[in-house]
């Protein structure tokens, strides 16, 4: 590989994924040059192109980076978020995990009165922080992937709260259960579920049939599953039963 491509590979190996714009700045090349490099590197199996950037091929058992997830399946996520928002009333308390679908939900909550939101997502904090009608609490901890808090401190601090509703998403969904690609986020999901009166899974249909390394809790611990369309899995539909809501 060329020296520039070696540098690109080093950056992606360390960060997992990043944007074309950021790569261009870091290696002092034009975005057009970066795109050509990424195309060649993808042909060699070194990287995986995603919307607006790339990720290291060795990381493909994980979710794409946040910037890529934010740009994917927007219509479905907004559809799910609109349905989920109907469950949130004034004077409620919520746990919101760091998730692109949950972030869409947070944008619909700014008109609620006397709402308390406890969240690990920096984008959710940014959306709600200037809204006087919404109280925002962060459990703190280690900054993870520049988009959320995670780690032991985060997990321990979550135990100090009890909420009315908990909204989260996942990486994969099958009849056997939901799975996540990240151990730290899985731990946070479990802690929030344990400390909430009602748990709601928001998941778009592209995740059906996918399985990742870390298992969540049983569907018995989920009160509702909101999706954009009926999943192409009769067994999953049977297992979820009345818990499944199509937005």
Question: The domain 3-60 is classified under which CATH number: 1.10.10.10, 2.60.40.1120, 3.40.50.300, 1.20.1250.20?
Answer: 1.10.10.10
Which of these ranges, 2-11, 112-121, 130-139, 157-166, has the smallest mean pLDDT?
A: 2-11
Domain boundaries of the chain, sorted by first residue:
3-60, 70-246
Spell out the CATH class of 70-246: alpha beta
pTM above 0.85, yes or no: no
Per-position DSSP letters for the chain, written without gaps between them: --HHHHHHHHHHHHHSEEEHHHHHHHHT--HHHHHHHHHHHHHTTSEEEETTEEEEGGGTTSPPPHHHHHHSSHHHHHHHHHHHHTT--TT-EEEE-S-HHHHHHHTT-TT-SSEEEEE-BHHHHHHHTT-TTEEEE----EEETTTEEESHHHHHHHTT--EEEEEE--SEEETTEEEES-HHHHHHHHHHHHTEEEEEEE--GGGBT---SEE---GGG-SEEEESS--S-HHHHHHHGGGEEE-
133 has a pLDDT exceeding 80: yes
pLDDT digits (tens, 9 = 90+) for 140-159: 988 876 688 988 899 999 99
pLDDT digits (tens, 9 = 90+) for 216-242: 999 999 999 999 999 999 999 999 999
């Amino acid at each position: 590989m060329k020296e520039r491509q070696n540098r690109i590979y080093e950056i992606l190996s360390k960060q997992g994924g990043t944007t074309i714009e950021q790569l261009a700045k870091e290696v002092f090349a034009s975005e057009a040059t970066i795109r050509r490099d990424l195309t060649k590197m993808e042909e060699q199996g070194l990287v995986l192109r995603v919307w607006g950037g790339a990720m290291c091929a060795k990381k493909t058992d994980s979710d794409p980076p946040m910037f890529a997830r934010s740009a994917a399946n927007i219509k479905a996520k907004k559809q799910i978020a609109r349905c989920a928002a109907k469950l949130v009333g004034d004077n409620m308390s919520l746990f919101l995990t760091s998730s692109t679908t949950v972030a869409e939900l947070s944008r619909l909550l700014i008109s609620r009165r006397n709402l308390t939101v406890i969240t690990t997502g920096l984008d959710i904090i940014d959306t709600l922080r200037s809204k006087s009608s919404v109280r925002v609490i962060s459990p703190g901890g280690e900054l993870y992937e520049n988009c959320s808090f995670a780690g032991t401190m985060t997990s321990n601090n979550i135990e100090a709260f009890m909420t009315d509703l908990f909204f989260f998403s996942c990486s994969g969904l099958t009849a056997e259960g939901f799975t996540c690609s990240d151990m730290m986020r899985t731990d946070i999901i479990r802690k929030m579920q344990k400390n909430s009166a009602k748990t709601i899974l928001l998941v778009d249909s592209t995740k059906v049939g996918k399985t990742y390394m870390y298992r969540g809790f049983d569907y018995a611990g989920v009160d509702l599953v909101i999706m954009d369309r009926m999943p192409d899995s009769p067994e999953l539909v049977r297992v979820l039963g009345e818990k499944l809501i199509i937005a």
